[in-house]
Structure 1
Amino acid sequence: MVQTIRIEAEAREQAGKGAARATRRQGLVPAVIYGAKQEATLLALDPRVVMKELHKGGWQSHLYEVAVKGGAAERCLMREVQFHPVTDRPIHVDFQRLAPGARIRVKVPVAFLNEDTSPGLKAGGVLNVVRREIEVMADPENVPEAFQVDLGEAAIGASLRWSAVKDQFGAKPVIQGRDFMVASVAAPTVVEEAAPAAAAPVEATKQKAPAGGAAAAPAKKKK
């Protein structure tokens, strides 16, 4: 299931560019929590915490519990991070508040099972992965660590699609209206070696000298 990451934050009282600059002068990153038909919550974050999450990758799909000092923790998604144009440091963070029962949009990695017993791969076929992640709308309490696709019976030419995922955990793919491709088992690529080029015949470039050794001088015309 998706991991909830807890972030400690401080409350901010004022909005606006001036207040945001004052927050940055204190060494903090201004942020806001919005959505779910509630008033926006202004907060300030430790920049080290923000950078730690950004370095993990996939931060837009993580579920956060933002705990503001003196207030209740709120479940959110980190939707946007603004960066300084010169230093590339984060200067503002937007969180989207999750309403009760709301689904989240996440990218779930794909795990392939039983590659060692796949008849297609054992015959020399190649696993062609089309999607290493599948983007879905899912219940935040029921997001798997990975979608599993079993290759145990996949022969050469097999197509593994969304319907081949063993357990979809009630998630709905963002791609709608078709059973999209996840991977396939392709035939091995045979590379034919080019035949070596035939050696060109060596043409004789020297004229055969007449008997007697030296070449004969051209005859003089009679006057």
Structure 2
Amino acid sequence: MSDQLTLTAETRERGGKGASRELRRNGRVPAVVYGGKEDPLMIHVEEKLLMKQLMTGIFMNSVVMIEVGGKTIRTLPKDVAFHPVKDRPIHADFLRVSKDTKVQVGVPVLFVNEELAPGLKRGGVLNVVRHELELVCEADKIPDDITIDVTGFDVGDSIHISHVTLPKGVESAITDRDFTIATIVAPSALKSSDGDTTKDEGEAEGGEAEA
């Protein structure tokens, strides 16, 4: 399960571009907490702390406890907007969740036992189609990643969601098809070599026929 993170925040009384610009000049990022059948709560958080948590790589699929006004709110990050030039966070959205709230999140995939895949041992390449899986689970059961074992896969094989064992209580958000996660393909050099070999064999057969 992903780590639980904590952000200290302060409420903000005013919205609008002017108030938001002033907050950013002071090293703060305007944000909003919504959902949970409650009114939206306008807050602002420290930019440095938000950036530190974003750099963990697990921020968007982790429960974030927001401490504000003497209360702690359990949330899930839903969106972080960045400045188009400076690449700094300029706004964040958080969804209120309870322990048993079901959420849809993108979870990264991790491939293991590549040395046991015949296709990779013969020089094939693991072509990753989906680096993340869209999953549905309770907020407190979001996995850090999904491990996929490639043992036994050969060149030309595809790895589908049906090959993956998901943790208990976790389901794929896509249920109408057995979608592809990765394939094992032959490298260009190998394809070219195979093609040349076929051509040579064809010419040899032709020569023998003429003889």
Which band: TM-score by shorter chain?
Answer: 0.7 to 0.9
- The equivalent residue for 2:139 is 140
Contact map agreement 2:99 2:140 (CA 8 A) in 1 = no
Q: Secondary structure at the match of 2:191?
A: coil
- The equivalent residue for 1:215 is none
Contact map agreement 2:2 2:61 (CA 8 A) in 1 = no
Q: Secondary structure at the match of 1:190?
A: helix
With structure 1 as the length reference, what TM-score do the two structures score? 0.71
1:32 Cα shift? Answer: 2.0
Q: Which amino acid is the alignment partner of residue 34 of structure 1?
A: Y
Q: Distance in 1 between matches of 2:171 and 2:20?
A: 38
Contact map agreement 1:32 1:41 (CA 8 A) in 2 = yes
Does the alignment pair 1:35 with 2:65?
no
Deviations along 1:56-87, whole A, 9 cap, x unmatched? 4564333211111x422111122233455675
Tell me the number of residue pairs that the alignment of Structure 1 and Structure 2 aligns.
192
Deviations along 1:87-146, whole A, 9 cap, x unmatched? 554443222111452222222222222221223333443322222221212222222222
- The equivalent residue for 1:220 is none
Contact map agreement 1:144 1:169 (CA 8 A) in 2 = no
Q: Secondary structure at the match of 1:141?
A: helix
Q: Percent identity?
A: 39
Residue 128 to residue 30, structure 1, CA distance change in 2 (3 Å): closer
1:23 Cα shift? Answer: 4.2
Deviations along 1:137-180, whole A, 9 cap, x unmatched? 22222222221222222233322110111334332223230111
- The equivalent residue for 2:51 is 51
Does the alignment pair 1:102 with 2:101?
yes
Contact map agreement 2:7 2:65 (CA 8 A) in 1 = yes
| Larger helix percent | 2
The worse-fitting range, judged by mean Cα deviation, of 15-24 and 2-11 is 15-24
Q: Distance in 2 between matches of 1:25 and 1:116?
A: 51
Q: Secondary structure at the match of 1:163?
A: helix
Unpaired runs of 5+ residues, structure 1, are 195-223
With structure 2 as the length reference, what TM-score do the two structures score? 0.74
1:43 Cα shift? Answer: 2.1
